[in-house]
Amino acid sequence: MKRRKFDMAAAPGNSARAIDDRFQVATPLRRLLNKVFPDHWSFLLGEIALFSFVVLLLTGVFLTFFFEPTMTEVIYNGSYAPLRGTPMSAAYASSLDISFDVRGGLIMRQMHHWSALLFMAAIVVHMLRIFFTGAFRKPRETNWIIGSLLFWVGFLAGFTGYSLPDDGLSGTGLRIASAIMLSIPVIGSWLTSSIFDGEFPGTIIISRFFIAHVLLIPALLVALISVHLGLVFKQKHTQWPGPGRTNGNVVGERMFPRYAIKQGGFFMVVFGVIALMGGLFQINPIWLFGPYEAWVVSAASQPDWYVMFLDGSTRLMPDWQIDIPIGDGYVIPPLFWPTVVLPGILVMLSLFYPFMEARYLKDYRSHNLLQRPRDVPFRTALGAMAVTFYLILTLTGANDVIADKFHISLNAMTWAGRIGLLILPPLAYYVTYRICLGLQQHDREVLAHGVETGIIKRLPDGRFVEVHQPLSAPDEHGHTELEYAGWVVPKKMNRLGALGPAIRGFFYPIEKPAEAPVSPGHPPVEPRPEREEIGSGETRR
């Protein structure tokens, strides 16, 4: 019998062949490797959310190994001396143990909390990017809806998560949540009683929140995120207008290797920043709040930032109680409007916005090119209005702290919020609209007359005028006007490659003139062979 020799060099090829024989992956794999992605910094915002979600899963799994989701009363006997001997729930005691008695537990807890905040922040900023650039338009309405839902599911994930430690602060939040559910007409008391299994707080809510927080909601998030990414992949990314870019193509880089490598590096950077924050910045120091006791609260009890707008709306709501005089009488408490109706309206508005806008504009075509916010003033202004509304509510969520720190009357803060909520959003709409129009006009001006050079010329009759550099060579009529292409108009001379070369290098100059900045996706502008610095007679090579 002859021993077969093993050919090391042929092994990869052979195994690749063996795999393809069985699974026929060569063609789809090539397609995947080749898929083209457009590149722009603002396309990375959603990825911050994705990456912080991965960190959330990693740190969250760690925390479940040590957290005890029960409300059984125990006497604390851990390392943190000030609370020793205090009766508390097992949930709070085990959260303290994670912070003090599990080696490295505190950094995991803090990383988990920071990445949750970052997750929500990235979702919001990503959503704003999508909104202001019109990326939600047909064919991407579904993904806009999924994205909006992701915010609210993330909101739930965050709320159930920070309620789990059962500390003084989160217990107060839970108390308010129960009051919110209680305020719903007709079914309120039944709903609350069913969720808490009796009167607040009961003995089971932490266990129920736990399973929602570690299984149901993450499963929903994973499902939504998967569909979200799948659709981005299937529908291909939107792109900014620019040279060679049309509604029917994608201009960018192939996914592998450069694009994928950049993604991987970016993930590591996000992860690293979360680790730094988790280690250096204290967050939610539950040991200072003590266990939840129904009769204890301190001033400046604020929820996590993404919940603060609801806190704010609750504070601004006037005491309008609706009494229904039937039988023994029924009540709709004022709490119902800012905490149930308002979020309901916000959800609906965001879900249906793409369809409302399409209907309003009678625009039912597919759009793969983004719009600059200035080019759609009404949408940009609407967005500014919404952001203003949200910011006022969020700030109002902290109005007691603001009143305290700046020595303002608390009641004045509330009234300022009430009035501001009505006046400022429309004002923001108007101002934004005007700014958009102004920016549009300036773009057209530069396209028509050229870039301001900063050079003042004196005319023979004594007038002074500024010299403009036209953007194109004059045609047969001597006109240099250009069409607006939906993309950045160069407005400074150094955007045109003028002026002297910028000197690069930190300690010593690198002897190569800097390239003129270009938008990604078209070849760099070749510098002129010899360039002179304006102003000095000395020529630099």
Partner 1 sequence: MSTQTGQSTRPGQEPIDVNDPQVSRFDIVREGARRDDIEIVHYEHQVAPGSKAERRLVRTVAGFFLLTGLAATAFLVIYIWWPWEYQPGRGGDKLFTPLLGVTLGVALLGIGFGILTWGKKLLPKEVSIQDRHEGAVSTEDRTITGQTMLYMADELGVRRRPLLGMSLLAGLVPVGAVAAAPLVGGLISDPHKNNQMMTTGFSPQEGQKIRLVREDGRPIRPADISAGGQITVFPGVEHGVSNRYADSPTLLIHLRDADAEDSRRNNEREGHGGYMWGNYAAFSKICTHAGCPASLYEQQTNRLLCPCHQSQFLITDNAKPIFGPASRRLPQLPIEVDAEGYFVAKSDYTEPVGPDFWERP
Q: DSSP of 166-207, one letter per residue?
A: -BHHHHHHHHHHHHHHHTSTTTHHHHHHHHHTSSSSTTTHHH
CB of 206 to partner 1, least distance (A): 12
| Strand partners for 369 | 239
Q: Which is nearer to partner 1, 5 or 365 (CB)?
A: 365
Among 504, 522, 528, 540, binds partner 1 (CB under 8 A): 522
How many angstroms separate the CA atoms of 414 and 420, rounded?
A: 10
Among 248, 478, 535, 537, binds partner 1 (CB under 8 A): 248
| Strand partners for 187 | none
Applying CB under 8 A, the site for partner 1 has a residue count of 111
CB of 31 to partner 1, least distance (A): 5
Is residue 66 near partner 1 by the rule CB under 8 A? no
Is residue 319 near partner 1 by the rule CB under 8 A? yes
Is residue 34 near partner 1 by the rule CB under 8 A? yes
Query: What is the number of other CB atoms lying within 10 angstroms of the CB of residue 352?
Result: 15
Q: Beta strand 73-75 with 87-89: parallel, antiparallel or unpaired?
A: antiparallel
How many angstroms separate the CA atoms of 430 and 527, rounded?
A: 43
Which one, of 227, 78, 24, lies nearest residue 140 by Cα? 227
Among 66, 271, 352, 390, binds partner 1 (CB under 8 A): 271
Is residue 220 near partner 1 by the rule CB under 8 A? no
Is residue 251 near partner 1 by the rule CB under 8 A? yes
Query: What is the number of other CB atoms lying within 10 angstroms of the CB of residue 54?
Result: 15
Using CB under 8 A as the binding rule, the residues of this chain from 146 to 205 that contact partner 1 are 172, 175-176, 178-180, 182-190, 192-195, 197-201
Is residue 527 near partner 1 by the rule CB under 8 A? no
Q: Which is nearer to partner 1, 124 or 180 (CB)?
A: 180
Is residue 10 near partner 1 by the rule CB under 8 A? no
How many angstroms separate the CA atoms of 155 and 116, rounded?
A: 10
Is residue 224 near partner 1 by the rule CB under 8 A? no
Is 439 exposed, middle or buried (CB count within 10 Å of its CB: 0-12, 13-18, 19+)?
Answer: middle
Is residue 36 near partner 1 by the rule CB under 8 A? yes
CB of 217 to partner 1, least distance (A): 17
Q: Which is nearer to partner 1, 191 or 439 (CB)?
A: 191
Q: Which is nearer to partner 1, 367 or 468 (CB)?
A: 367
Query: What is the number of other CB atoms lying within 10 angstroms of the CB of residue 253?
Result: 17
Among 35, 449, 468, 531, binds partner 1 (CB under 8 A): 35
Using CB under 8 A as the binding rule, the residues of this chain from 363 to 402 that contact partner 1 are 366, 368, 399-400
**Do residues 216 and 167 make contact, with C-beta atoms less than 8 angstroms apart?**
no
CB of 157 to partner 1, least distance (A): 21
Stretch that binds partner 1, among 17-25, 149-157, 262-270, 481-489 (CB under 8 A): 262-270
Using CB under 8 A as the binding rule, the residues of this chain from 74 to 133 that contact partner 1 are 79-82, 87, 100-101, 103-104, 106-107, 110
How many angstroms separate the CA atoms of 362 and 366, rounded?
A: 12
Among 220, 231, 275, 358, binds partner 1 (CB under 8 A): 275
Rounded to a whole number of angstroms, the distance between the first and last alpha carbons of the chain is 75
CB of 221 to partner 1, least distance (A): 21
**Do residues 176 and 332 make contact, with C-beta atoms less than 8 angstroms apart?**
no
Among 262, 449, 468, 495, binds partner 1 (CB under 8 A): 262
Q: Which helix (H) or strand (E) holds 395?
A: helix 377-396
How many angstroms separate the CA atoms of 237 and 266, rounded?
A: 18
Q: Which two tokens stand for residue 210?
A: 């736990």
CB of 356 to partner 1, least distance (A): 23
CB of 149 to partner 1, least distance (A): 22
List of residues 6+ apart from 164 with CB closer than 8 A: 67, 69, 91, 95, 170, 206, 209, 210, 213
Q: Which is nearer to partner 1, 104 or 478 (CB)?
A: 104
Among 364, 411, 508, 530, binds partner 1 (CB under 8 A): 411
CB of 533 to partner 1, least distance (A): 24
Is 381 exposed, middle or buried (CB count within 10 Å of its CB: 0-12, 13-18, 19+)?
Answer: buried
Q: Which two tokens stand for residue 500?
A: 């002297």
Is residue 230 near partner 1 by the rule CB under 8 A? no
Using CB under 8 A as the binding rule, the residues of this chain from 276 to 315 that contact partner 1 are 276-280, 292-301, 311, 314-315
CB of 112 to partner 1, least distance (A): 13
Among 335, 395, 436, 447, binds partner 1 (CB under 8 A): 335
CB of 398 to partner 1, least distance (A): 12
User: 232-247: string of b/e by CB count within 10 Å (b at 16+)?
Assistant: beeebbbbbbbeebee
Is residue 252 near partner 1 by the rule CB under 8 A? yes
Is 320 exposed, middle or buried (CB count within 10 Å of its CB: 0-12, 13-18, 19+)?
Answer: exposed
